Protein backbone atom coordinates (compact mmCIF):
# COMPACT_ATOMS: atom_id res chain seq x y z
CA UNK A 1 0.00 0.00 0.00
CA UNK A 2 1.48 3.32 -1.08
CA UNK A 3 0.74 6.47 0.91
CA UNK A 4 0.05 9.58 -1.21
CA UNK A 5 -0.03 13.19 -0.02
CA UNK A 6 -2.56 14.85 -2.32
CA UNK A 7 -3.38 17.63 0.14
CA UNK A 8 0.22 18.69 0.84
CA UNK A 9 0.01 17.75 4.53
CA UNK A 10 3.08 18.58 6.64
CA UNK A 11 5.92 16.05 6.29
CA UNK A 12 5.69 15.12 9.98
CA UNK A 13 2.10 13.92 9.58
CA UNK A 14 2.87 11.95 6.42
CA UNK A 15 5.87 10.35 8.14
CA UNK A 16 3.73 9.45 11.17
CA UNK A 17 1.25 7.76 8.84
CA UNK A 18 4.00 5.94 6.93
CA UNK A 19 5.77 4.75 10.09
CA UNK A 20 2.71 2.86 11.26
CA UNK A 21 3.97 0.55 14.03
CA UNK A 22 0.86 -1.61 13.80
CA UNK A 23 1.05 -4.91 12.03
CA UNK A 24 -0.39 -8.32 12.60
CA UNK A 25 3.14 -9.57 13.47
CA UNK A 26 3.65 -13.22 12.57
CA UNK A 27 -0.05 -13.96 12.73
CA UNK A 28 -2.15 -14.93 9.70
CA UNK A 29 -4.95 -12.56 10.62
CA UNK A 30 -5.54 -9.80 13.19
CA UNK A 31 -8.78 -9.26 15.09
CA UNK A 32 -9.36 -6.09 13.03
CA UNK A 33 -9.02 -8.10 9.82
CA UNK A 34 -11.16 -10.93 11.19
CA UNK A 35 -14.17 -8.67 11.73
CA UNK A 36 -13.65 -6.77 8.44
CA UNK A 37 -15.65 -7.81 5.36
CA UNK A 38 -14.15 -10.97 3.82
CA UNK A 39 -14.51 -9.56 0.31
CA UNK A 40 -12.65 -6.38 1.29
CA UNK A 41 -9.77 -8.22 2.96
CA UNK A 42 -9.37 -10.65 0.06
CA UNK A 43 -9.27 -7.79 -2.48
CA UNK A 44 -6.77 -5.89 -0.34
CA UNK A 45 -4.48 -8.92 -0.08
CA UNK A 46 -4.69 -9.53 -3.80
CA UNK A 47 -3.97 -5.91 -4.79
CA UNK A 48 -1.91 -4.70 -1.81
CA UNK A 49 1.12 -3.49 -3.81
CA UNK A 50 -0.94 -1.48 -6.30
CA UNK A 51 -3.21 0.19 -3.70
CA UNK A 52 -2.90 3.82 -2.72
CA UNK A 53 -4.28 5.64 0.28
CA UNK A 54 -3.91 9.32 0.96
CA UNK A 55 -2.29 10.42 4.22
CA UNK A 56 -5.34 12.64 4.83
CA UNK A 57 -7.55 9.54 4.86
CA UNK A 58 -5.37 7.93 7.53
CA UNK A 59 -5.76 10.73 10.06
CA UNK A 60 -8.57 9.09 12.01
CA UNK A 61 -6.56 5.86 12.26
CA UNK A 62 -3.59 7.94 13.45
CA UNK A 63 -5.78 9.54 16.12
CA UNK A 64 -6.84 6.07 17.26
CA UNK A 65 -3.22 5.12 17.78
CA UNK A 66 -2.69 8.22 19.94
CA UNK A 67 -5.08 6.76 22.52
CA UNK A 68 -2.21 4.53 23.61
CA UNK A 69 -0.30 7.66 24.72
CA UNK A 70 -3.42 8.93 26.48
CA UNK A 71 -3.72 5.71 28.48
CA UNK A 72 0.00 5.74 29.27
CA UNK A 73 -0.38 9.28 30.57
CA UNK A 74 -3.30 8.19 32.74
CA UNK A 75 -0.83 5.75 34.31
CA UNK A 76 -3.56 3.45 35.55
CA UNK A 77 -2.26 0.17 36.86
CA UNK A 78 -4.44 -2.57 35.51
CA UNK A 79 -4.37 -6.27 34.79
CA UNK A 80 -3.54 -5.85 31.12
CA UNK A 81 -0.65 -3.46 31.76
CA UNK A 82 1.90 -6.20 31.23
CA UNK A 83 0.45 -7.20 27.88
CA UNK A 84 -0.59 -3.72 26.75
CA UNK A 85 2.56 -3.29 24.68
CA UNK A 86 2.17 -6.48 22.73
CA UNK A 87 -0.26 -8.64 20.90
CA UNK A 88 -1.96 -11.74 22.19
CA UNK A 89 -2.37 -14.58 19.75
CA UNK A 90 -3.93 -18.01 19.54
CA UNK A 91 -4.23 -20.77 16.98
CA UNK A 92 -7.76 -21.39 15.63
CA UNK A 93 -8.67 -23.75 12.79
CA UNK A 94 -5.12 -23.62 11.45
CA UNK A 95 -4.96 -19.80 11.53
CA UNK A 96 -2.80 -17.75 13.89
CA UNK A 97 -5.13 -15.01 15.18
CA UNK A 98 -3.69 -11.99 16.98
CA UNK A 99 -5.07 -8.90 18.71
CA UNK A 100 -3.50 -5.62 19.82
CA UNK A 101 -4.16 -4.57 23.40
CA UNK A 102 -2.75 -1.10 23.77
CA UNK A 103 -6.10 0.73 23.66
CA UNK A 104 -7.59 -1.54 26.30
CA UNK A 105 -7.88 -1.47 30.08
CA UNK A 106 -8.91 -4.43 32.22
CA UNK A 107 -9.81 -3.13 35.66
CA UNK A 108 -9.96 -5.03 38.94
CA UNK A 109 -13.71 -5.55 38.66
CA UNK A 110 -13.14 -7.57 35.49
CA UNK A 111 -14.29 -4.90 33.02
CA UNK A 112 -12.45 -4.77 29.70
CA UNK A 113 -12.68 -1.28 28.19
CA UNK A 114 -11.76 -0.42 24.63
CA UNK A 115 -10.98 3.26 23.94
CA UNK A 116 -11.88 4.48 20.46
CA UNK A 117 -12.20 7.76 18.61
CA UNK A 118 -15.57 7.80 16.94
CA UNK A 119 -18.19 10.07 15.44
CA UNK A 120 -21.40 11.04 17.21
CA UNK A 121 -23.35 9.35 14.41
CA UNK A 122 -21.54 6.05 15.06
CA UNK A 123 -22.67 5.84 18.69
CA UNK A 124 -26.12 7.41 18.40
CA UNK A 125 -27.77 4.03 17.89
CA UNK A 126 -25.69 2.15 20.46
CA UNK A 127 -22.66 -0.04 19.89
CA UNK A 128 -22.00 -1.12 16.30
CA UNK A 129 -22.17 -4.87 15.56
CA UNK A 130 -18.51 -4.96 14.54
CA UNK A 131 -17.40 -3.40 17.84
CA UNK A 132 -19.39 -6.01 19.75
CA UNK A 133 -17.59 -8.72 17.75
CA UNK A 134 -14.18 -7.06 18.14
CA UNK A 135 -14.41 -6.74 21.92
CA UNK A 136 -15.72 -10.26 22.36
CA UNK A 137 -12.90 -11.70 20.22
CA UNK A 138 -10.35 -9.72 22.24
CA UNK A 139 -11.97 -11.06 25.43
CA UNK A 140 -11.66 -14.57 23.99
CA UNK A 141 -7.94 -13.96 23.30
CA UNK A 142 -7.44 -12.92 26.93
CA UNK A 143 -9.11 -16.18 28.00
CA UNK A 144 -7.21 -18.29 25.44
CA UNK A 145 -3.94 -16.92 26.86
CA UNK A 146 -4.62 -18.18 30.36
CA UNK A 147 -6.23 -15.11 31.98
CA UNK A 148 -9.72 -15.06 33.51
CA UNK A 149 -12.23 -14.00 30.88
CA UNK A 150 -13.28 -10.38 31.61
CA UNK A 151 -16.82 -10.26 33.02
CA UNK A 152 -17.95 -6.99 31.42
CA UNK A 153 -17.12 -5.21 28.19
CA UNK A 154 -17.33 -1.47 27.62
CA UNK A 155 -16.60 0.82 24.74
CA UNK A 156 -15.23 4.24 25.73
CA UNK A 157 -16.01 6.43 22.72
CA UNK A 158 -14.14 9.75 22.39
CA UNK A 159 -16.43 11.74 20.09
CA UNK A 160 -14.25 13.70 17.69
CA UNK A 161 -17.13 15.68 16.13
CA UNK A 162 -19.07 16.37 19.35
CA UNK A 163 -20.63 19.83 19.52
CA UNK A 164 -21.67 21.63 22.71
CA UNK A 165 -24.41 23.70 21.01
CA UNK A 166 -25.89 20.50 19.54
CA UNK A 167 -25.82 18.86 22.98
CA UNK A 168 -27.73 21.84 24.44
CA UNK A 169 -30.22 21.86 21.56
CA UNK A 170 -30.97 18.19 20.82
CA UNK A 171 -32.58 15.81 23.28
CA UNK A 172 -31.06 12.55 21.93
CA UNK A 173 -27.54 14.02 21.46
CA UNK A 174 -24.68 12.70 23.69
CA UNK A 175 -24.39 15.13 26.63
CA UNK A 176 -20.55 14.94 26.71
CA UNK A 177 -17.71 14.28 24.30
CA UNK A 178 -16.95 10.93 25.96
CA UNK A 179 -19.51 8.15 26.10
CA UNK A 180 -19.15 4.84 27.94
CA UNK A 181 -21.27 2.15 26.34
CA UNK A 182 -21.89 -1.34 27.68
CA UNK A 183 -21.17 -4.07 25.15
CA UNK A 184 -23.07 -7.38 25.21
CA UNK A 185 -20.87 -10.26 26.34
CA UNK A 186 -20.94 -13.51 24.35
CA UNK A 187 -20.15 -16.87 25.89
CA UNK A 188 -16.68 -18.25 25.23
CA UNK A 189 -18.08 -21.03 23.01
CA UNK A 190 -20.30 -18.58 21.10
CA UNK A 191 -17.25 -16.39 20.46
CA UNK A 192 -15.20 -19.35 19.26
CA UNK A 193 -18.01 -20.30 16.86
CA UNK A 194 -18.01 -16.72 15.53
CA UNK A 195 -14.23 -16.79 15.03
CA UNK A 196 -14.34 -20.13 13.19
CA UNK A 197 -17.19 -18.94 10.96
CA UNK A 198 -15.37 -15.67 10.10
CA UNK A 199 -12.20 -17.59 9.28
CA UNK A 200 -14.23 -19.81 6.92
CA UNK A 201 -15.63 -16.67 5.22
CA UNK A 202 -12.12 -15.25 4.76
CA UNK A 203 -10.86 -18.57 3.40
CA UNK A 204 -13.77 -18.74 0.93
CA UNK A 205 -13.22 -15.15 -0.26
CA UNK A 206 -9.50 -15.79 -0.73
CA UNK A 207 -10.24 -18.94 -2.76
CA UNK A 208 -12.91 -17.16 -4.84
CA UNK A 209 -10.46 -14.48 -5.86
CA UNK A 210 -7.71 -17.02 -6.60
CA UNK A 211 -10.19 -18.89 -8.83
CA UNK A 212 -11.28 -15.70 -10.62
CA UNK A 213 -14.76 -15.81 -9.04
CA UNK A 214 -16.65 -13.00 -7.33
CA UNK A 215 -16.37 -13.25 -3.54
CA UNK A 216 -19.48 -13.36 -1.36
CA UNK A 217 -20.88 -9.79 -1.28
CA UNK A 218 -20.52 -7.59 1.78
CA UNK A 219 -23.63 -7.34 3.97
CA UNK A 220 -25.54 -4.08 4.55
CA UNK A 221 -24.00 -3.89 8.04
CA UNK A 222 -20.50 -4.41 6.63
CA UNK A 223 -21.14 -1.67 4.06
CA UNK A 224 -22.35 0.67 6.86
CA UNK A 225 -25.54 1.22 4.93
CA UNK A 226 -27.81 4.10 5.88
CA UNK A 227 -31.31 3.51 4.57
CA UNK A 228 -33.17 6.10 2.51
CA UNK A 229 -35.47 8.18 4.70
CA UNK A 230 -38.52 10.28 3.86
CA UNK A 231 -38.72 13.47 5.88
CA UNK A 232 -42.04 15.23 6.42
CA UNK A 233 -41.20 18.94 6.31
CA UNK A 234 -43.56 21.74 7.23
CA UNK A 235 -43.37 25.43 6.30
CA UNK A 236 -41.79 27.47 9.10
CA UNK A 237 -39.84 24.53 10.60
CA UNK A 238 -36.19 23.81 9.86
CA UNK A 239 -36.23 20.25 11.18
CA UNK A 240 -38.35 17.36 9.93
CA UNK A 241 -41.67 16.77 11.68
CA UNK A 242 -40.93 13.05 11.34
CA UNK A 243 -38.62 10.73 9.39
CA UNK A 244 -40.32 7.75 7.74
CA UNK A 245 -38.76 4.59 6.35
CA UNK A 246 -41.41 4.30 3.61
CA UNK A 247 -42.48 6.93 1.07
CA UNK A 248 -46.19 6.01 1.34
CA UNK A 249 -46.22 6.59 5.10
CA UNK A 250 -44.48 9.94 4.67
CA UNK A 251 -46.93 11.14 1.98
CA UNK A 252 -49.94 10.02 4.05
CA UNK A 253 -48.54 11.90 7.06
CA UNK A 254 -47.78 15.05 5.01
CA UNK A 255 -51.33 15.04 3.59
CA UNK A 256 -52.69 15.48 7.14
CA UNK A 257 -50.63 18.60 7.84
CA UNK A 258 -50.98 22.13 6.48
CA UNK A 259 -48.17 23.31 4.17
CA UNK A 260 -46.25 20.03 4.43
CA UNK A 261 -44.13 18.25 1.87
CA UNK A 262 -41.93 15.15 1.72
CA UNK A 263 -38.18 15.45 1.32
CA UNK A 264 -36.19 12.38 0.25
CA UNK A 265 -32.94 11.81 2.15
CA UNK A 266 -31.12 9.24 0.01
CA UNK A 267 -29.46 6.29 1.72
CA UNK A 268 -25.79 5.50 1.30
CA UNK A 269 -23.27 2.72 1.72
CA UNK A 270 -20.93 4.84 3.83
CA UNK A 271 -18.02 2.42 3.95
CA UNK A 272 -18.09 1.79 0.17
CA UNK A 273 -18.36 5.50 -0.59
CA UNK A 274 -15.67 6.83 1.70
CA UNK A 275 -13.82 4.22 3.72
CA UNK A 276 -12.92 1.29 1.49
CA UNK A 277 -9.52 1.30 -0.23
CA UNK A 278 -10.62 -1.37 -2.74
CA UNK A 279 -13.95 0.17 -3.79
CA UNK A 280 -12.60 0.80 -7.30
CA UNK A 281 -11.74 -2.92 -7.60
CA UNK A 282 -14.84 -4.30 -5.90
CA UNK A 283 -17.30 -6.10 -8.22
CA UNK A 284 -20.20 -5.43 -5.85
CA UNK A 285 -19.57 -1.69 -5.63
CA UNK A 286 -18.82 -1.31 -9.32
CA UNK A 287 -22.02 -3.17 -10.28
CA UNK A 288 -23.99 -0.91 -7.95
CA UNK A 289 -22.49 2.24 -9.48
CA UNK A 290 -23.10 0.95 -13.02
CA UNK A 291 -26.77 0.22 -12.15
CA UNK A 292 -27.16 3.73 -10.69
CA UNK A 293 -25.65 5.28 -13.85
CA UNK A 294 -27.97 3.26 -16.06
CA UNK A 295 -31.09 4.23 -14.05
S1 LIG B 1 -16.58 -1.35 -1.67
FE2 LIG B 1 -18.19 -1.88 -0.21
S3 LIG B 1 -18.97 -3.83 -0.94
FE4 LIG B 1 -16.92 -3.58 -1.87
S5 LIG B 1 -15.44 -4.51 -0.48
FE6 LIG B 1 -15.59 -2.36 0.08
S7 LIG B 1 -17.13 -2.34 1.73
FE8 LIG B 1 -17.41 -4.28 0.62
* Structural domain spans, the chain: 2-210, 228-266
Q: Is any atom of ligand 1 closer than 6 Å to the C-beta of 272?
A: yes
Q: Is any atom of ligand 1 closer than 6 Å to the C-beta of 37?
A: yes
- At residue 121, the pLDDT reads 85
Encode pLDDT of 42-91 as tens digits: 999 999 999 998 999 888 888 887 887 787 777 776 656 555 556 789 99
**What's the residue count for the chain?**
295
Which residue positions in the chain have pLDDT lower than 70?
A: 21-25, 77-86
What is the distance between the alpha carbons of residues 110 and 77, in angstroms, rounded to a whole number? Answer: 13
- At residue 27, the pLDDT reads 86
Compute the Cα dihedral for 101, 104, 110, 111 and give only its sign. Answer: negative
CA Rg, the chain, in Å? Answer: 22
- At residue 110, the pLDDT reads 85
Nearest to 226 by CA among 107, 142, 122: 122
Q: Where are the alpha helices (DSSP H) in the chain?
A: 11-18, 31-35, 38-47, 59-74, 120-124, 129-144, 164-169, 188-210, 247-255, 270-274, 283-294
- At residue 86, the pLDDT reads 62
- At residue 23, the pLDDT reads 65
Coil, strand, or helix at residue 42? helix
Please give the mean pLDDT across all residues of the chain.
90
**Nearby residues of 270 by Cβ (< 8 Å), 6 or more positions away:** 223, 224, 225, 226
Residue to probe by mutation, ligand 1, list 53, 216, 278, most atoms within 8 Å of CB: 278
Encode pLDDT of 14-49 as tens digits: 998 888 766 666 789 999 999 999 999 999 999 999
- At residue 109, the pLDDT reads 80
| Cα of 272 from ligand 1 centre, angstroms | 5
- At residue 19, the pLDDT reads 83
CATH fold for the domain made of 2-210: Lambda Exonuclease; Chain A (3.90.320)
Amino acid sequence: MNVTNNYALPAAIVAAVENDPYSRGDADISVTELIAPAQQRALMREHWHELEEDAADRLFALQGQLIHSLLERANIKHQLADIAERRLSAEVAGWALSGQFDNLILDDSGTLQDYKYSSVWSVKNGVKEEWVAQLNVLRWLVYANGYDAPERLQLVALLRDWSKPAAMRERDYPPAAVQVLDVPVWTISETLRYIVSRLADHEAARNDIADGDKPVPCTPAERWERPTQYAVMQAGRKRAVKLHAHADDAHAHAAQLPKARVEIRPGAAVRCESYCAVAHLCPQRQAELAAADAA
